[in-house]
Amino acid sequence: MVLLPWPKKVQEQEGNYQLSFDAMIVLEPSCPEGADVYARMLQEEIVSCTGIGIGRMRGLAGKGDIRLLVDPTCFASRYYLNVEEDGILIRGGELSSLGQGVQTLRQLFRQYAGLLPAVQIEDEPDFKTRGFFHDVTRGRVQTLPNLKKMVDTMVFYKLNQLQLYIEHTYLFRGMTELWRDETPLEAQEIMELDAYCAVRGIELVPCLASFGHLYKLLGTRTYSGLCELEKSAGQEFSFLDRMEHHTLNPLNPQSMDLITGMIGEFMQLFSSDKFNICADETFDLGTGKSREAAGKKGRGALYAEFVSGLFEYLVRNGKTPMFWGDIICESPAYIKKFPKETICLAWGYFEQEQDTQVRILHKAGAKLYVCPGTRGWNHFVNQMRESYENIARMCGYGREYHALGVLNTDWGDYGHIGHPDFSIPCMIYGAVFSWGKNVPEFDGMNRMISLLEFGDVSGEFVGYLAQISRIEVFGWETAVRYKEWTQKGRETEGILKDLGAGGMERFYRADERAAELSGQLSIACRSMGGEKRRIAACALLSLRMVVLWNKVGKYLLGEEAAGTLAGELEACLYHYKAYWRENSREGDLARVSDVFFWYADLLREGNGK
């Protein structure tokens, strides 16, 4: 039996429940109106897994029916699932826990079709909030149907909060210069997504960069005067600069007016009572226009004063403020001056991440979420083992320091190059670790995810997928850095020295493993349902990408002839674009393509063409 997350108590019984054509999904009188969405989910799962289309109704159940009820005598967060020979009962202390019981039953149908083993399950989560944070600004802006698909996946694994990271990819009214060359989300799309989330037990929390990471905003001619640094407008686009620069000057009162105006417009689209202002990585603060003030008052004071103004605005408007905790860790005493409702997001993404940030913020009295990561940024396929270890560690800190929740982050960085489905295993890691302590080891969990999520009865697909990032030698981040440093006339010898460290053996081993993986992925594809084979094909394409970029690295080191490599890169990119456009708007696809083109041109120069 495979259940993700694994329940607190599972007691298997003798016998089986066999689904009948006459069975009904029955919402008993205790079920509120919102329970029908879970009944429909179950109905759709059953017909998909068994071919049997059963009905649903309100009223009292008979023999062989699937009963759903809300039981106020239960703990609110707890559900019970009883599968017996003569029927199935799901009861929860409230609507959300009833929905969680439905997801467990869906997972059973997905494995056993119409003949389920008898079992009694009692379950509830460790963390009240179990969230997923997805970047829709630094590369990919997923289409609304694909965002809904992501929400459905979250529901299936019992996550209950979603945040979409926005810098410049929302169509703010009257700010055409901000998004004129983007493919932004529109107000009606966000409202539709918010409603879609709400009826499925997901809280869609607004999230807007409001201090640092304002590359596009502060690069406009209209708002460049509010940048901490001079001459921010009109610069040629740079992936590196977008990550490292463009912080607001907090001393200019127009900065506060601009951001509160943007927050005021954006918050109206959401039913959540929370708002994440981000305010992380304000790298330039105190280095430009506010240098003198920072010298007198301290950088921490400047930071705290500005975010306090945003927090107060949010509280006045009935919102609980949220923000990233990296900068305030430098001056944690200011936390006591923030509104008591404020939630601090303690992040850390290394597999051996220490508890430093979480411990400092806890000691300062902050209300906390712990925030691990999917480790997909700057990779064609996520670093899954590293993500697993990181999430395990951060959830452990969450329990130790009494965090309110877990928010698993899926950043985009230099173009969000990975297919969104490659983050799903890491999303599930976050769901499992934040639910309870009974967690499968890495390989075992991957086998379970292969079966439940990708329909791979061999259980091998996710394990093979996890190995793709491990054969990267010349990775995307290094490729971007080498290109942009070269274009800016910066010395790149250090990049090549690091790339060649350890000799060419790394490249040769990667080539050998890639050849093995290609065959293994193709074999695993045979065990997957037809609709899932598209993502297996994308995995093969991503593997091919890794191989080609490793060859580019060897070329830069003088160990590979240019040959036909330029054309191979461009052909691979052609297919990559098709996968991108299946689930995402154009976003940064042209900028990602420019990296390919730059190297293709470089290779042709090496061929004397």
Following DSSP, what letter does each residue of 357-373 receive, concatenated? HHHHHHHTT-EEEEE-B
Strand segments (E) across 378-480: 405-410
Same domain, 426 and 529: no
Q: What are the residues whose beta carbons fall under 8 Å from the beta carbon of 439, sequence distance 6 or more?
A: 6, 392, 432, 433, 445
Q: How many residues does the chain have?
A: 609
One DSSP character per residue, 108-129 reads HHHHHTTEEEEEEEEE--SSSE
What is the three-class DSSP state of 94? coil
Q: Is residue 2 included in any domain, yes or no? A: no
Helix or strand holding residue 13 (H, E): strand 9-18
Domain shared by 198 and 111, yes or no: no
441 CB-contact burial (10 Å; exposed 0-12 / middle 13-18 / buried 19+): exposed
393 lies in the same domain as 472: no
Domain annotation covers residue 448:
no
Whether residues 81 and 170 share a domain: the answer is: no
Dmax of the chain from CA atoms?
Answer: 80
Tens of pLDDT along 180-204?
999 999 999 999 999 999 999 999 9
Q: How far apart are CA 9 and CA 489, in angstroms?
A: 62
Contact (CB, 8 A) for 295 and 326: no
CA atoms of 397 and 354, how far apart (whole Å): 9
CA distance 446 to 336: 42
Residues 479 and 596 in one domain: yes
pLDDT of residue 609: 59
Cα–Cα nearest to 260, from 320, 312, 220, 185: 312
* Domain at 229, CATH number: 3.20.20.80
pLDDT tier at 529, thresholds 50, 70, 90: confident
- Whole-prediction pTM value? 0.96
Burial class of residue 378, CB neighbours in 10 A (0-12, 13-18, 19+): buried
Q: Are residues 396 and 483 in the same domain?
A: no
Q: 522: pLDDT confidence band, cut at 50, 70 and 90?
A: very high
Domain boundary among 72, 105, 123: 123
Which H, E and C letters describe 285-302, residue by residue? CCCCCCHHHHHHHCHHHH
- 196 plus 321 within the same structural domain: yes
Alpha-carbon distances, residue 53 vs 7, 20, 391 (angstroms):
28, 10, 39
Say if residue 514's pLDDT is above 80: yes
The percent helix, strand, coil of the chain (3-state, each to 5) is 50, 15, 35
Please indicate, yes or no, if residue 445 is contained in any of the structural domains: no
- Does the pLDDT value for residue 581 go beyond 80? yes
For residue 236, how many other CB atoms are within 10 A of its CB? 8
**Cα dihedral across residues 37, 38, 44, 48: positive or negative:** positive
User: From CA 442, how far away is CA 386, in angstroms rounded?
Assistant: 10
pLDDT for res 597: 98
Count structural domains, the chain. 3
- Within a domain: residue 560? yes
Query: Which of 89, 123, 157 is a domain's end point?
Result: 123
> Could you give the dihedral angle defined by the CA atoms of residues 33, 43, 450 and 424, in that order, rounded to the nearest 10 degrees?
-30
- Asked whether residue 513 falls in the same domain as residue 433, the answer is no
Range of the domain at 497: 464-606
83 and 175: one domain? no
Kindly state whether residues 154 and 246 are assigned to the same domain: yes
- Average per-residue pLDDT for the chain: 96
Task: Answer whether residue 24 is part of any domain.
Answer: yes
With a cut of 80, say whether residue 498 has pLDDT above it: yes
For residues 548-569, give the mean pLDDT: 95
pLDDT confidence bin for 19, thresholds 50/70/90: very high
Per-residue pLDDT band for 607 (boundaries 50, 70, 90) equals confident
- Whether 481 is in a domain gets the answer yes
Q: Are 379 and 348 in contact (CB under 8 A)?
A: no
Mean pLDDT computed over 77-91: 97
Q: Are residues 535 and 549 in the same domain?
A: yes
Tens digit of each residue's pLDDT (9 = 90 or more) over 427-436: 999 999 999 9
Across 530-589, the runs of DSSP E, i.e. the strands, are none
Across the range 567-594, mean pLDDT stands at 97
Q: Is 381:465 a contact under the CB 8 Å cutoff?
A: yes
Q: Is 597 part of any domain? A: yes
Average pLDDT over residues 312-316: 98
Is the confidence at residue 49, as pLDDT, over 80? Answer: yes
Instruction: Give the SS3 label for residue 596.
Output: helix
Element (H, E) at 204: strand 203-205
Has residue 608 got a pLDDT over 80?
no
What pLDDT, in 10s, does the model give residues 215-263?
999 999 999 999 999 999 988 999 999 999 899 999 999 999 999 999 9
Residue 449: inside a domain, yes or no?
no
The CATH number assigned to the domain holding 79 equals 3.30.379.10
Q: Answer whether residue 66 shows pLDDT above 70.
A: yes
Are 111 and 1 a contacting pair, CB within 8 Å?
Answer: yes
| Edge-to-edge strand ranges of the sheet holding 274-276 | 203-205, 161-165, 129-135, 405-410, 367-371, 343-347, 320-324, 274-276
Residues 279 and 394 in one domain: yes
Instruction: Out of 123, 146, 181, pick the residue that ends a domain.
Output: 123
In single-letter form, the type of residue at position 539 comes to A
What is the C-alpha separation between 461 and 537, in angstroms, rounded?
A: 11
322 pLDDT higher than 90: yes
β partners of residue 501: none
Is the C-alpha dihedral spanning 373, 193, 435, 381 positive or negative?
negative
Tell me which residue has tokens 């009865």.
Answer: 457
